[in-house]
Amino acid sequence: MAKPRTVVMVPVDADTVAIGARDVKNRFAEEIGRRGLASEISVLEVGSFGPVDAGVIAAVQPDGVVYGGLTPDRVDRIVEEHFVKGRACREWLLSGEHPLPDPRATDSRHTQYAGRIVLDNCGRINPENIDEYIANDGYFALGKALSDMTPAAVVEDVKKSGLRGRGGAGFPTGLKWGFCASETGPEKYVVCNADEGEPGTFKDRLIMEGDPHKVLEGMALCGYAIGASKGYIYIRGEYKLSIERLRQAIAAARAYGLLGNNILDSGFTFDIDIKIGAGAYVCGEETALIESMEGKRGLPRLKPPFPAQQGFRNKPTNVNNVETLANIPAIVQRGADWFRGVGAANMPGTKVYTILGHVRRPGLIEVPGGVTLRDIIDDYAGGMKHGNFKMAQLGGTAGDLLGEEMLDVPLNYDALEKVGHVLGSGAILIMNETIGVCDFLHACMRFFAHESCGNCNPCRNGLRWLSAITARLKAGTGYPGDIEIMEEIATVLKTAAFCPLGQSPAGPITSALRYFKPEIEKGIDHSSARPKPDHTARALATFAG
Amino acid sequence: MTIELTIDRQPVSVPEDATILDAAKAAGIIIPTLCYMPDIASPGSCRVCLVEIEGARTLQPACVTKVAPGMVVRTNSKQAREARRLSVELLLANHPWDCNACVRNGQCELQDLAQTMGITDVRFPYAGEEVPLDTSTPALVRDMNKCILCRRCIGVCQDVQGVSTLAPRARGFDTVVGAGVGDNLCEAVCVQCGQCSAICPVGAIYEKDAIEDVWAALDNPKKHVVVQTAPAIRAALGECFGLEPGTCVTGKMVTALRRLGFDKVFDTNFTADLTIIEEGHELLTRLKKALVDKEPVALPMFTSCSPGWINYMEFFFPDLIPNLSSCKSPQQMFGALAKTYYAQKAGVDPADIVVVSVMPCTAKKFEAERPEMHGSGYQDVDYVLTTRELGRMIQEAGIDFMALPDGEQDTPMGMSTGAADIFANTGGVMEAALRTVYEVVTGRELPTEKLHVTPIHGLEGVKEAALTFENCVPDWKFLEGVTAKVAVAHGLANAQRVCDKVAKGEADYHFIEVMCCPGGCIGGGGQPRMTTNNVRNARIKAIYAEDEGRPMRKSHTNPAIEEIYRDFLGEPLGEISHRLLHTHYEKKESSLTPATQAK
């Protein structure tokens, strides 16, 4: 078969599929076929390669041209202009410079995708074709581990790589694997946490949609390392396309003998099933996730015992985030030293972020550990779209608010900890001066109050009052003393709540008070007085918020 | 192995499985608790017992955190104190303040916590909407306005009883403890054991009060009001007046009841003895059918004294109902006989007799209203009071319980043996039955020390014993050499284990005693709060002491029992027995019976 000179790549992910990406892709194929160009131009369905607000996109390579805002009836013109007349169709050219994948390159490391570890295949290969994954070194690491490495050596490699959990908590992955590996007993589980409930975070979805096999390979490597033969992907039900592609990928890997009994004749058996969650934020917490997997109400468990000792079905269980697992094949294939060479010394490897808000190019990026917020805004997100930078929320709704003075702090676990912040899940929300801090805090608190599982008292009750207080501050009707009470509840939540969900609202509140206290103080109405609770007339008691 | 740690700068040494709460207690430090339950897995969710542990990122709940070597704990640091205080303030903010008119006023754990922590102001305005009381069952009242979501009730309902009627619903601030899927307990599969009401720290679940009805009966000069007290009451009633658990107060109880105005103070023990005669004969008859006549007969036979257990069978193991003894519970036998046998003997019109029971149990309230329980032509038992309610009545009547002289029950229905006393605790019905059955079959007394069957004593969830009949009397010669295998279970989660075994045909028992509540009736849902395993053991010890102190310790030696067979019943399992003392049960979907529907 002749190698086509040009490819049209249409990213089909959960966002674009809803606005007709598949129709656009089909229309391209149809039009190109109608004009007899099918042998020269191939049309590919790929995963997302980054941009999120540009409608349906199509990238033409090697021309390096990206079209956005496509509908099927616009395809006609583009095919006519671009492929017949040979000039880019200016009308729907996507402004900005997204790093573009080049499917013709045999080694992704030599393309503009250089430096990508997790997303190297995303937007570049057809996620529904296992051969394309294999052609790009896919399952090489699994083969290497099974033939050349002991399980302990794999754990050791992951430890040495310095990889830390990419779900938000940043716990050293190798250490976690080591706990589980040291447990005896034949029944252990690998769980991939694909619940991704943190608002503004959708990196895991795009990884699963764009390169599902990488996640499967990461899980299989984990299973080999810790001695598990069964893996589960706990995925939120809204992620329909991810579920579809993962299912397809699991079936393909089974058909190739890369999952199932006696993988590659090594004696290692590992299989993966999907468990679909019902969309509770708390189920992203690993013990609540396990409860949910067991068919119970998603409530966090008491720790200890930790999942590594007693997890799913009370057996040793290792739970890792999607992105964490997607790092594993590269680490095993290229070694811990190579991985440590990428990124900062204290944060080896890369980090995938979803960058949102008032920036020119919101979307998915993968950057070496340790770049600063300013780098991200200016270099990767094209700068502020309008207005001036006021604040950023790092790591989703549970994340800290960062003021302007934090723009030059490197985004890595230790550097952020030194200045009293945490990195979180990978969402970066950039806000300009049009956003009021109290308004924003109320949105966060309302979210938490809604998502609180209701199990522990400070979270269940405290968040209800935090939501009420921030509503008052937002409306400018705060009672004198509200700020102190808000801070008190937040501080107590951080140390007293049962699980990270209840502990994390302290992040936005204490950081907001740190950078924006004068603005928050404007929410107090000094002429008002806190009403005395009237508990006996409770049927009549109505209070705002 | 012991573990050395430091709590509030004091070195403490405790067993390795101890919690910080245990260790603090050993060091003389009181850590406040709320959702914590002794002997049951605590949810660790109220955050009232938080302590600071050196090196830990967050505060830890003392009730569920195990000690570790070298641990340094601060129970009274500023951080811990403030977190605990805010936790309680937040609970108070979402709890009605009508304490003065609450059933738990003065005995409320939330009140105590607020007082201990010196909380005098709540900075959050209560904003809940009032929800109606759930009074849909004969046994329990649920006031969800007062629920503080400590989840103790869920713990007992799910883990101890394995019934799982109560479960959290909705999320966050909207969370409520729901019963089944409907709004009312009567629509749910609830056995009405009342363990939830015995463990609730506030006034959110409590027994449905029959005190006013009983006062009305006592105040009515036309009514002849007789009272029966269950075996377990005497070992627990004293706790209502500050006595140590395990103090037997039979004599004071009798005097108090007389002073309350009851016309006759009888004893459920009398019908406990009668139960042994009827149930013992029923067992021997089933064994005869199985071994001699080779007829199909349901074995093993289960005891039927515990109404929560009966409810459980009807819901969960309807296929095993034929295995239940057909005997009514002692409470219901008493009611049926009071309005027939006693009415005749005393020359009182049964229509004027009011039978009041004092029971350690909330399910007994339900049982009294069963349509099956009208053997006398009237509702056999009119009102059921729990131990807690009797305590309140005595207080209300201004009776100085501690100063009361001992009294004795009236005859004939107040006469009983030690075998009846031990109906109060797990293993007791079985032991009482074996004392009689063995003697009937062999003509000799049970050859064990002090007539006790020790393998079935204690709080082990499922207990077993075996007894071989040798040198049998001619009537029971067919049992020669037969080894009777018996099992005893208490707490419905344990009962379920036994039932599963029987249902699968894996059990080779002949006779199984099941008590709904852990520890048996002494741990019933109507007993004084808090019933821990220590309290259970103390009450059991008191009951066995009561038994051993009796001149008569075998049911068949009770002269009042001989008398009733001679004068009224004729013979065990006879026609009158069949009408008054036996019944049968049916499969049920929810606790909504015709009797409760009519209400």
Residues 6+ apart with CB under 8 A from B132: none
Check if the beta carbon of residue A395 is closer than 8 Å to that of residue A198: yes
Check if the beta carbon of residue A513 is closer than 8 Å to that of residue A482: no
Which residue in B66, B93, B151 is closest to A461 by CB distance?
A: B93
For residue B333, which of B363, B371, B305, B302 has the smallest C-alpha distance? B305
Q: Looking at the structure, do residues A350 and A309 belong to the same domain, yes or no? A: no
Task: Give me the amino acid identity at A448.
Answer: F
For residue B173, which of A281, A497, A454, A458 has the smallest C-alpha distance? A454
CATH topology of domain B270-329+415-580: Fe-only Hydrogenase (Larger Subunit); Chain L, domain 3 (3.40.950)
Q: Looking at the structure, do residues A206 and A306 belong to the same domain, yes or no? A: yes
Check CB contact under 8 Å for B172 and A542.
no
Q: Chain A: nearest CA to B92, how far in angstroms?
A: 10
Which residue in A297, A488, A532 is closest to B86 by CB distance?
A: A488
The whole-number pLDDT of residue A113 equals 52
The mean pLDDT value for B235-258 works out to 97
Q: Looking at the structure, do residues A88 and A41 belong to the same domain, yes or no? A: yes
Domain of residue A286, residue span: 130-340
Dist. CA B259–CA B255, nearest whole Å: 6
Check CB contact under 8 Å for A454 and B98.
no
Distances in Å between the Cα of B377 and the Cα atoms of B338, B344, B569, B577, B597 are 12, 14, 17, 15, 20
Q: Chain A: nearest CA to B130, how far in angstroms?
A: 6
Q: Looking at the structure, do residues A417 and A288 belong to the same domain, yes or no? A: no
Architecture of domain B2-92: Roll (3.10)
Which residue in A302, A460, A495 is closest to B175 by CB distance?
A: A460
Q: What is the DSSP letter of B341?
A: I
CB contacts of B172 in chain A (<8 Å) are 449-454, 460, 463-464
Check CB contact under 8 Å for B86 and A496.
yes
Q: Which of B369, B521, B546, B555 is catalytic?
A: B521
CATH topology of domain B212-268+332-409: Rossmann fold (3.40.50)
- Specify whether B305 is catalytic: yes
**Does residue A530 sit within a domain?**
no
Q: What is the pLDDT of residues B580-597, one digit of tens each?
A: 999 999 898 765 544 444
**Domain's final residue, options A340, A371, A397:** A340
Dist. CA B83–CA B77, nearest whole Å: 10
Buried b (16+ CB within 10 A) or exposed e, B533-557: eebbbbbbbbbbebbeeeebbbbbb
Check CB contact under 8 Å for A496 and B130.
no
The mean pLDDT value for B163-184 works out to 92
Q: Which of B89, B223, B372, B501 is catalytic?
A: B372
Q: What is the ipTM of this complex?
A: 0.90
Q: Looking at the structure, do residues A291 and A347 belong to the same domain, yes or no? A: no
**Does residue A124 sit within a domain?**
no
For residue A470, which of A542, A541, A519, A533 has the smallest C-alpha distance? A519
Dist. CA B193–CA B363, nearest whole Å: 5
Q: Which of B239, B282, B314, B513 is catalytic?
A: B282
**Does residue A334 sit within a domain?**
yes
- Specify whether B325 is catalytic: yes
For residue B533, which of B543, B542, B522, B525 has the smallest C-alpha distance? B522
User: In 3-state terms, what secondary structure has residue B301?
Assistant: strand
CATH of the domain at A253: 3.40.50.11540
Angle at A284 between CA A279 and CA A286, to 5 degrees: 135
Mean pLDDT in order along chain A per 10 residues (545 residues): 76 89 94 90 86 85 85 92 87 66 40 71 91 95 96 97 92 97 95 93 94 98 98 96 97 97 96 94 95 94 94 97 97 95 87 92 86 89 92 93 94 90 91 96 96 95 96 96 97 95 94 97 95 55 37
Q: Looking at the structure, do residues A29 and A143 belong to the same domain, yes or no? A: no
Dist. CA A321–CA A167, nearest whole Å: 5
Dist. CA A232–CA A325, nearest whole Å: 13
- What string of DSSP letters covers A46-70? E---SB-SSSS-EEEETTTEEE-S-
Q: Where are the domains of chain B?
A: 2-92, 129-208, 212-268+332-409, 270-329+415-580
Check CB contact under 8 Å for B43 and A534.
no
Q: Is there a common fold for B129-208 and B270-329+415-580? A: no
Q: Which of B207, B367, B389, B513 is catalytic?
A: B367
Task: Give me the amino acid identity at B440.
Answer: V
Q: Which CATH number fits domain B129-208: 3.50.50.60, 3.30.420.10, 3.30.70.20, 1.10.3720.10?
A: 3.30.70.20
The whole-number pLDDT of residue B129 equals 79
CATH of the domain at A386: 3.10.20.600
CB contacts of B83 in chain A (<8 Å) are 458, 492, 495-496
Q: Looking at the structure, do residues A453 and A508 belong to the same domain, yes or no? A: yes
Q: Looking at the structure, do residues A88 and A230 belong to the same domain, yes or no? A: no
The whole-number pLDDT of residue A100 equals 56
Dist. CA A231–CA A216, nearest whole Å: 9
CATH of the domain at A97: 3.40.30.10
Contact residues, chain A to chain B, C-beta under 8 Å:
280, 297, 302, 304, 449-458, 460-465, 481, 485, 488-489, 492, 494-498, 503, 530-536, 538-539, 541-543
User: In 3-state terms, what secondary structure has residue B363?
Assistant: helix
Which residue in A302, A492, A503 is closest to B44 by CB distance?
A: A302
Dist. CA A364–CA B55, nearest whole Å: 37
Q: Is the predicted pLDDT of residue B251 greater than 80, yes or no?
A: yes
Q: Is the predicted pLDDT of residue B472 greater than 90, yes or no?
A: yes
Q: What is the pLDDT of residues B359-400, one digit of tens each?
A: 999 999 999 999 999 999 999 999 999 999 999 999 999 999
Distances in Å between the Cα of B449 and the Cα atoms of B428, B435, B453, B544, B548 are 15, 12, 8, 13, 11
The whole-number pLDDT of residue B51 equals 97
């050791």: which residue's tokens? Answer: A156
- Split into its structural domains, chain A has a count of 4
Q: Bridge-partner residues for B357, per DSSP?
A: B228, B384
CATH of the domain at A449: 1.20.1440.230
CB contacts of A503 in chain B (<8 Å) are 58
Q: Looking at the structure, do residues A175 and A37 belong to the same domain, yes or no? A: no
pTM confidence score: 0.90
Q: Looking at the structure, do residues A441 and A509 belong to the same domain, yes or no? A: yes
Q: Looking at the structure, do residues A224 and A336 belong to the same domain, yes or no? A: yes
Q: Looking at the structure, do residues A205 and A261 belong to the same domain, yes or no? A: yes
